[in-house]
Amino acid sequence: MDLSSPRGTIDIYGEDIDYRNYIINTAREILEIFNYAEIITPAFEYTQVFSRSIGENTDIVSKQMYTFPDKKGRLLTLRPEGTASIVRAILENKMYSEKLPLKLFYIGNMFRYEKPQKGRMREFWQLGIESIGSDNPIIDAEAIWILNLFFEKLGFKKLALKVNNIGCRKCRKKFLEEFKKYLRPEKNKLCSDCRKRFKENPLRIFDCKKIDCTEVLKGSPDISYYLCSECKKNFEEVLKCLKILDIKYRIDKNLVRGFDYYTGTIFEIISEDLESAQNALGGGGRYDNLISDMGGADIPATGFAVGIDRTIILMKQLNIDLKKSDKKSKVYLIAMDKISQIYSTLILKYLREKEVVCDMNFNIRSLKKEITWARDNGYNFIIIVGEDEMKTGNLTMKDINKFKQYKVDWKNDKEKIIEIIGAQNID
């Protein structure tokens, strides 16, 4: 019997939970300021939700989706990304009838069947935003603003923003004609995947990281020359907003996004402290046709996604410590015997009613081992409870970081515990 976790999945615990919560809480604080509301969608959908939106010829749909029939033979798929599910939810619940733009964010697990590697698992967690119902360039700039601010708040330093405009369906058609004309004589130099993409979805060739393919692309046509006047104007206004917001950027003509639904402005943020092959932190862009393609009205939209697991790995790699100044002090009660444990529950009750983070030793060990355990697990104070403490009511309280010791009259002056903790928080 194999009781290990399935390949491509991980258990999240310990320090990684602290990082995960810090990332999510940082995002929530920012998104509240920008007036985004949370939405939660199912972990699986009918398969056509993804095949219709992401694109039949993308690697995700053709190779990576976890698809299975239910008991009635209907095809279901574990979500490989968040946007398509949210668009389905908006249409099904007629959320587009509300005042637009509709500004939503999500946090959830996604699933893709691909070769597991560091930062790329088969089950992974994402957070992202979707802004539905406006084609105003300020909305695009706001999405970029949020993404940039998010990584700044997490502690990333050398951030670089890459932007591009891949045009609307009308102007992109002319570019693709010229792009394929350029690639045709170079096609044999492309990898097998890109030769297939040449037929089915040539824009995806820009996603390839293989050296031969990137060399071929160096002389390729620039999509900016083929943008219609409306796309040009929109992109210029996005860039103008970024300048006003003092967000530095660089235009990358080879930047594309991995899904067919993207149109217009797209963006990606990278860390220049990391190797180029693994420096992408997050990205997104506009998808003005997706809602109508899925049977809804002609409603424009934009958004981005960030990999939570990958962000944790990169924070550790760059030695970015969590900001612990907002964390509450933790108190650990060390009871010396079974009777002391029962007595200690009164102290736990008092502390928890005062919203102090606290716990006690449920297994009796030596005092030295308990103090070491408390220090290793992030406790700031210990309170020792034994036979003498129960008789006299005088508790011994120690600050294990500053090596200070206090006596507290538990029966007559228990508030002193809170005062000691509060003084430490001020320090």
Residue 210 falls inside a structural domain: no
Helix (H) or strand (E) holding 397: strand 394-399
- Same domain as 109, residue 22: yes
Q: Which is more confident, 418 or 257? A: 418
Mean pLDDT throughout 333-338?
A: 94
- Same domain as 362, residue 259: no
Over residues 70-103, the pLDDT tens digits come to 999 999 999 999 999 999 999 999 998 778 899 9
Task: Quote the pLDDT of residue 282.
Answer: 93
Residue 112 falls inside a structural domain: yes
Nearest to 356 by CA among 332, 374, 378, 330: 330
**The domain containing residue 274 runs over which residues?**
15-168+228-317
Q: Is the pLDDT of residue 426 over 50?
A: no
Q: Is the pLDDT of residue 319 over 70?
A: yes
- Same domain as 350, residue 261: no
Nearest to 82 by CA among 292, 286, 306: 306
CATH number at residue 385: 3.40.50.800
Task: Quote the pLDDT of residue 57.
Answer: 63
Task: Quote the pLDDT of residue 167.
Answer: 92
- Same domain as 422, residue 344: yes
- Same domain as 355, residue 302: no
Over residues 235-247, the pLDDT tens digits come to 999 999 999 999 9
CB-side neighbour CA atoms (13 Å) of 225: 7
Among candidate residues 280, 296, 317, the one where a domain is terminated: 317
Q: Which amino acid belongs to residue 106?
A: Y
Mean pLDDT throughout 328-339?
A: 92
Nearest to 316 by CA among 277, 274, 374: 274
CATH number at residue 296: 3.30.930.10
CA distances from 270 to 162, 250, 252 (A): 8, 11, 12
pLDDT band at 205 (very low <50, low <70, confident <90, very high): confident
User: Tokens in use for 30?
Assistant: 């920012």
Over residues 361-381, the pLDDT tens digits come to 999 999 999 999 999 988 999
Q: Is the pLDDT of residue 325 over 80?
A: no
- Same domain as 309, residue 162: yes
By DSSP bridging, strand 280-286 and strand 37-38 are unpaired
Task: Quote the pLDDT of residue 56.
Answer: 67
User: Tokens in use for 352?
Assistant: 């928890």
Alpha-carbon gap, residue 224 to 231, rounded angstroms: 9
Is pTM beyond 0.75 here? yes
Mean pLDDT throughout 115-133?
A: 91
| Percent with pLDDT over 70 in the chain | 95
Terminal-to-terminal C-alpha distance of the chain? 53
Nearest to 84 by CA among 266, 292, 291: 291
- Same domain as 277, residue 334: no
Q: Is the pLDDT of residue 153 over 60?
A: yes
Give the strand order in the sheet containing 301-307.
37-38, 102-111, 123-132, 301-307, 280-286, 263-271, 159-165, 250-251
CA distances from 306 to 24, 72, 81, 243 (A): 11, 35, 11, 23
CA distances from 85 to 17, 46, 195, 294 (A): 26, 10, 31, 11
- Same domain as 72, residue 148: yes
* 223, 254 contact by CB (below 8 A): no
- Same domain as 349, residue 288: no
Alpha-carbon gap, residue 278 to 119, rounded angstroms: 9
Supply the DSSP string of 331-371, one letter for each residue.
EEEEESSHHHHHHHHHHHHHHHHTT-EEEE-SS---HHHHH
Residue 250 falls inside a structural domain: yes
- Same domain as 161, residue 57: yes
Alpha-carbon gap, residue 156 to 272, rounded angstroms: 10
Among candidate residues 284, 317, 350, the one where a domain is terminated: 317
By DSSP bridging, strand 280-286 and strand 263-271 are antiparallel
Query: Which residues in 274-304 are b (16+ Cβ under 10 Å) and which e?
Result: beeebbbbbbbbbbbbbbeebebeebbbbbb
Task: Quote the pLDDT of residue 29.
Answer: 95
* 122, 112 contact by CB (below 8 A): yes
Mean pLDDT throughout 122-133?
A: 96
pLDDT band at 120 (very low <50, low <70, confident <90, very high): confident
- Same domain as 245, residue 156: yes
Residue 223 falls inside a structural domain: no
Q: Is the pLDDT of residue 326 over 70?
A: no
Mean pLDDT of the chain, nearest integer: 90
Q: Is the pLDDT of residue 278 over 80?
A: no
* 393, 344 contact by CB (below 8 A): no
Residue 284 falls inside a structural domain: yes
**How many independent structural domains does the chain possess?**
2
- Same domain as 253, residue 400: no
Residue 289 falls inside a structural domain: yes
Q: Is the pLDDT of residue 143 over 90?
A: yes
3-state secondary structure of 163: strand
Over residues 374-414, the pLDDT tens digits come to 999 889 999 999 999 999 999 999 999 888 999 999 989 99
Q: Is the pLDDT of residue 316 over 70?
A: yes
Among candidate residues 317, 350, 375, the one where a domain is terminated: 317
User: Tokens in use for 284?
Assistant: 């997104």
Neighbouring residues of 117: CB distance < 8 A, sequence distance ≥ 6: none
Residue 322 falls inside a structural domain: no
Nearest to 274 by CA among 177, 159, 410: 159
Residue 105 falls inside a structural domain: yes
Give the strand order in the sheet containing 357-360.
357-360, 330-335, 381-385, 394-399, 404-409
* 357, 328 contact by CB (below 8 A): yes
Show the 3-state SS of 185-232: HHHHHCCHHHHHHHHHCHHHHHHCCCHHHHHHHCCCCCHHHHCCHHHH
Q: Is the pLDDT of residue 106 over 90?
A: yes
Mean pLDDT throughout 16-26?
A: 95
| Percent with pLDDT over 90 in the chain | 66
pLDDT band at 327 (very low <50, low <70, confident <90, very high): low
Task: Quote the pLDDT of residue 63.
Answer: 81
Q: Is the pLDDT of residue 328 over 80?
A: no
